[in-house]
Amino acid sequence: MLTKNVLLYEEPIKRILGKVELETIYKKIEGKQLKQVEMNYLSRSIRPKLIAARMISQENILERINKRTRREQSLIEFNLSNYGYEMISIKRKKHKKLPIEELIVEIIIKYPSARFIEAIPFLIIKNKIGGFKLLELATRYGIKNKVGYLIETVFMIRPIPQLKGLLDYLIKNKENEMSFLVEGDEEFLRKTSPERVRKWNLLGRFFDEDFKKLAKVYL
């Protein structure tokens, strides 16, 4: 049963409906008499939003935009394996080998799951990276801060002198817009993202201790 607490305090609902709208809905559900202004809210604002929400739910829009097909995951896993980062997975088919700079960008912009993002510093450590090529792609796709954070992570684990110039450039030329390393609840991530992540105007629960643990496995 939909309770008042659910209506008033669940963050996803509060992002769609205002407090007055939620109070009006609860009064209507309880069968209480609505004032004229509340009836106006109901017809002009609340019902259209609820109809849209029902349509989105019926079409499984959220599931569809979050869905990663097994083939897409297999493409990334195959390339990670080729570059020395083996993941526990079902036996995968062969795919086209991506240049490593393109693989890094593909992960960041198309497949930003935590386990793929965590692999990037180790790809950089274990393989020769074209710094100018990576910067060109990062600039083209607006992900300089994400690349900068991940290269800084590399230097925390095992410095690569050839990339020092790239890191210095990215530190001096940070993008001002806040963005997600991995999608999540913005309010929660603003409170819980580590300082080093937020320093790059990013949100995401990636911890230095976890990267250091992974280093013991992959290096």
Domains of the chain, residue spans: 4-65, 68-175
What is the distance between the alpha carbons of residues 189 and 32, in angstroms, rounded to a whole number?
A: 38
151-176 average pLDDT score: 96
Give pLDDT tens digits for 40-62. 989 999 999 989 888 888 877 76
Give pLDDT tens digits for 77-108. 899 999 999 876 555 567 788 999 999 999 99
More confident residue, 95 or 218: 218
Give the pLDDT of residue 89: 57
- Does residue 119 surpass a pLDDT of 80? yes
Give the pLDDT of residue 102: 95
Give the pLDDT of residue 75: 85
Give the pLDDT of residue 67: 62
E-strand stretches of 108-185 = 179-180
Give the pLDDT of residue 88: 67
Lowest mean pLDDT among 52-61, 137-146, 202-211: 52-61
- Nearest Cα neighbor of 218 from 157, 162, 159, 160 is 157
Report CA-CA distances (Å) from 105 to 61, 95, 101, 140. Answer: 25, 17, 6, 10
Q: Which helix (H) or strand (E) holds 181?
A: none
Residues 6+ apart with CB under 8 A from 77: 87, 89, 92
